[in-house]
């Protein structure tokens, strides 16, 4: 299925040029921009790419079995599901074929939101907690106004200069653009949105016209106005006075904070929420859920501690809110968002954009009070089971790698795989997201960095007897370059909507729906151990945009899993092994580098 409209088909400019003083500013009108629709790959292409990934991970016997299952699926049940998806895509021209299924997947998850939430350890600081919090709150005013008026500062993807070879991305002159606008439709969920816990499936609720935000401090919950009666942001002095009043509250922290319930499993929290409503606390809950956003004023320092930023102390995070602004006692700030509506590209846009107080505390019945202590213990147990570690690798950076003719992203993925292989003695199943936000309602596509080339390279590094003598460095360099080239192909396919993961994901959703509605059997393809194994990722990584102080934080979805946002989030032993792997790869590349007498800066 081709795109509905290409960038060459704009009937009018998506950007409005405004003059403010002596400066010209481009403003983005979401209702004017006509984005390309996310293309639906051909089934045969998806199966070919899927088998390419499986070939790297399976032995000969298992691969032949998977190959047979794929062939049967492609020419049988898979084709029927694909035709059903084609019809669905044609009937929903206003969005992408994956958007509704992807949102539904998140809302149906029954584990704690902590597992899927996005955290950005931005380490924004303004000297004091009060000043930093005030500045952040005031900075959200223009964004709220922009969304209300339909005028946004445009956000571009600058990382696809080589990757965008698909015809969708040709500009009006017929050449590839240096940057591409990203779809900002998810920002409609930024203000006034909450995940409402329900049994079986949550509800994503957005309340328009809200003027207040909620503040969590020491387990107490407060409300403050951000906007006046006309919808304009209140003076910074008023907002600061309100926050000062909250920070001056001398009461000790709440022993069993209600907010800890939002970290529980969704079905459990849904039942407890109904009990709270039955006890007369429905209006108080509605006040939190309708708030523009949540401000978390921690009573502990956050600098260089991503774990505290992510988990808090148990009672100072309301995980149901779409957006939480977190400010530590030391004035260091972070950001957390519900992943159901927000992906990494939008998170970074938000970070870069960044009355009389009516406080109250819900006094629940004795049963709820006892439950709070139990679920606070569960949250603390989950926090204790997660290890966070920063690795600042100083030996070389992106400029050095680009000078060597290899992709920095591919080297990072190779190092993650190499470190895992050395630690555990076997190769890791890996996944990394690639944004498709340059398409209408695009979310992400999954990259599978554990390619045949990457695993062959890892084996060569780990088993010195395979390659020895004076040729070892040259052979390793060739393997690294081959890994980089294959990684570039994967990124190019994913960025242009030609990956296979999301296509198979939606086909699986359709198969499950048909199985429940028509009592049909689930295709053998989705029961294949190889398919199930690929969805249990040993390493999940994410590339955070260039920044001096912003670090992404997210948790593994499987026990003993690893996550990385190019700073490893697990044990220090793994970080040390990763550092060794990066240095070893750099030594191999540096040998070629010195041969060509290319002088580059070895750091970013």
**Residue pLDDT, tens place only, 357-394:** 334 444 444 455 555 656 666 666 666 666 767 777 77
**Residue where a domain stops, chosen among 327, 352, 385:** 385
C-alpha distances in angstroms, 476 versus 74, 422, 469, 481?
Answer: 37, 17, 12, 9
Residue 368 sits at the vertex; the CA angle it makes with 362 and 373, to the nearest 5 degrees, is 100
**Domain containing residue 414: CATH number:** 3.30.559.10
Q: How far is CA 178 from the centre of its chain?
A: 24
In this prediction, residues 555-578 reach a mean pLDDT of 61
Q: Is residue 32 in a domain? A: no
3-state secondary structure of 330: coil
Q: How confident is the model at residue 21 (pLDDT cuts 50, 70, 90)?
A: very low
Helix (H, G, I), strand (E, B) or coil at 433: strand
pLDDT at 161: 44
Domain that holds residue 329: 107-164+177-385
What is the per-residue pLDDT for 342? Answer: 82
CATH code (residue 251): 3.30.559.70
Report whether 123 contacts 549 (CB < 8 A). yes
- For residues 359 and 486, state if they share a domain: no
Q: 467 vs 490, which has greater pLDDT?
A: 490
What pLDDT does residue 571 have? 43
**pLDDT tens, position by position, 92-130:** 998 999 999 999 999 999 998 888 777 766 555 556 899
Whole-number percent of the chain with pLDDT over 70: 74
**pLDDT at site 180:** 72
Q: Is 435:442 a contact under the CB 8 Å cutoff? A: yes
257 assigned to some structural domain: yes
Confidence band for 179, pLDDT divided at 50, 70 and 90: low
Least confident of 24-38, 227-241, 256-270: 24-38
Q: Which residues pair with 446 in a beta bridge?
A: 433
Predicted local confidence at residue 332, as pLDDT:
85
Residue 3: how many other CB atoms lie within 10 Å: 19
Q: Mean pLDDT, to the nearest integer, of 160-188?
A: 56
Last residue of a domain, one of 334, 361, 385: 385
Same domain, 407 and 374: no
Angle at 7 between CA 4 and CA 12, to 5 degrees: 100
Residue 307 has pLDDT above 90, yes or no: no
Q: How many domains does the chain have?
A: 2
Percent of the chain residues past pLDDT 90, beyond the cut: 44
In this structure, the answer to whether residues 301 and 373 fall within a common structural domain is yes
For the segment 341-348, the average pLDDT, to the nearest whole number, is 78
Asked whether residue 221 is assigned to any structural domain, the reply reads: yes
Binned at pLDDT 50, 70 and 90, residue 466 comes out as low
3-class SS of residue 304: coil
Mean pLDDT on 391-419: 87
Closest CA to 37 of 76, 79, 3, 82: 3
Terminal C-alpha separation, the chain: 40
The mean pLDDT of 405-430, rounded to a whole number, is 91
Q: Which of 23-37, 281-295, 493-507 has the lowest mean pLDDT?
A: 23-37
Inside any domain, residue 86: no
Element (H, E) at 247: helix 236-247
Whether 517 is in a domain gets the answer no
pLDDT at 392: 76
Average pLDDT over residues 515-525: 88
pLDDT at site 512 = 94
Does the pLDDT of residue 6 top 50, yes or no? no
3-state secondary structure (DSSP) of residue 334: strand
Average pLDDT over the chain reads 80
Q: Are residues 416 and 319 in the same domain?
A: no
467 and 340 co-located in one domain: no
Highest mean pLDDT among 143-157, 280-294, 359-373, 571-585: 280-294
Kindly list the distances between the CA atom of residue 288 and the CA atoms of 112, 135, 202, 368, in Å, as whole numbers in the listed order: 19, 22, 17, 18
Give the residue numbers marked as catalytic: 339
Separation between Cα atoms, residue 215 and residue 332, nearest integer Å: 16
Domain presence at residue 89 = no
What CA–CA distance (Å, rounded) separates 349 from 476?
A: 39
Task: Flag the least confident range among 123-137, 224-238, 313-327.
Answer: 123-137
* pLDDT at 182 > cutoff 50: yes
Nearest to 383 by CA among 308, 323, 322, 320: 308
> How much is the CA Rg of the chain, to the nearest whole Å?
25
Are 143 and 251 contained in the same domain?
yes
């Amino acid at each position: 299925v081709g795109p509905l409209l290409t960038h060459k088909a704009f009937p009018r400019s998506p950007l409005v040029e405004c003059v403010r003083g002596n400066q010209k500013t481009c403003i983005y009108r979401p209702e004017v921009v006509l984005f390309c629709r996310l293309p639906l790959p051909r089934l045969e292409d998806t199966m070919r790419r899927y088998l390419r990934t499986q070939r790297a991970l399976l032995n000969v016997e298992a691969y032949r079995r998977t190959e047979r299952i794929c062939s049967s699926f492609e020419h049988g049940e898979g084709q029927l599901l694909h035709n059903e998806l084609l019809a669905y895509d044609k009937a929903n021209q206003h969005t992408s074929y994956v958007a509704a299924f992807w949102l539904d997947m998140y809302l149906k998850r029954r584990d704690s939101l902590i597992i899927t939430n996005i955290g950005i350890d931005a380490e924004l600081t303004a000297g004091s907690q009060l000043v930093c919090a005030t500045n952040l709150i005031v900075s959200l005013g223009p964004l709220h106004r922009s969304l209300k008026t339909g005028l946004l500062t445009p956000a571009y993807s600058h990382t696809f200069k080589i990757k965008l070879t698909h015809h969708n991305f040709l500009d009006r002159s017929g050449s590839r653009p240096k940057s591409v606008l990203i779809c900002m439709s998810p920002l409609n969920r930024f203000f006034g949105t909450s995940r409402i816990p329900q049994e079986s499936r949550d509800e994503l609720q957005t309340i328009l016209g809200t003027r207040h935000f909620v503040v969590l401090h020491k387990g107490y919950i407060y409300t403050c106005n951000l906007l006046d009666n006309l919808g304009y942001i209140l003076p910074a002095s008023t907002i600061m006075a309100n926050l000062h009043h909250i920070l001056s509250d001398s009461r000790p922290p709440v022993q069993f904070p209600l907010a800890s319930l939002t970290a529980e499993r969704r079905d459990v929290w849904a039942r407890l929420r109904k009990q709270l409503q039955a006890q007369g606390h429905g209006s108080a809950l509605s006040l939190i859920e309708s708030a523009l956003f949540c401000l978390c004023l921690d009573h502990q320092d956050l600098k260089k501690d991503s774990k505290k930023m992510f988990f808090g102390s148990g009672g100072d995070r309301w995980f149901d809110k779409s957006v939480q602004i977190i400010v530590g006692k030391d004035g260091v700030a972070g950001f957390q968002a519900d992943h159901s509506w927000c992906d990494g590209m939008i998170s970074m846009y938000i970070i870069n954009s960044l009355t009389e107080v009516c406080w109250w505390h819900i006094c629940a019945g004795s049963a709820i009070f006892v439950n709070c202590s139990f679920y606070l213990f569960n949250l603390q147990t989950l926090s204790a089971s997660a290890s966070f570690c920063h690795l600042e690798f100083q030996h070389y950076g992106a400029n050095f790698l680009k000078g060597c003719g290899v992709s920095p992203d591919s080297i990072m993925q190779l190092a993650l795989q190499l470190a895992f292989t050395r630690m555990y003695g076997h190769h890791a199943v890996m996944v990394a997201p690639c944004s498709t936000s340059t398409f209408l309602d695009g979310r992400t596509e999954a990259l599978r960095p554990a390619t045949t080339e990457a695993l062959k390279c890892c084996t060569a590094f780990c088993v010195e007897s395979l390659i020895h003598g004076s040729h070892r460095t040259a052979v390793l360099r060739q393997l690294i370059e081959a890994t980089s080239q294959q990684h570039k192909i994967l990124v190019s396919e994913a960025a242009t909507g030609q990956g296979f993961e999301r296509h198979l994901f939606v086909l699986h959703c359709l198969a499950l729906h048909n199985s429940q509605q028509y009592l049909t059997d689930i295709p053998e393809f989705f029961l294949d151990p190889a398919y199930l194994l690929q969805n249990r990722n040993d390493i999940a990584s994410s590339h955070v945009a260039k920044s001096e102080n912003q670090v992404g934080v997210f948790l593994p979805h499987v026990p003993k899993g690893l996550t990385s946002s190019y700073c490893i989030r697990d044990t220090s032993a793994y970080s040390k092994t990763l550092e060794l792997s990066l240095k070893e790869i750099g030594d191999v590349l540096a040998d070629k580098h010195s041969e060509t007498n290319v002088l580059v800066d070895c750091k970013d």
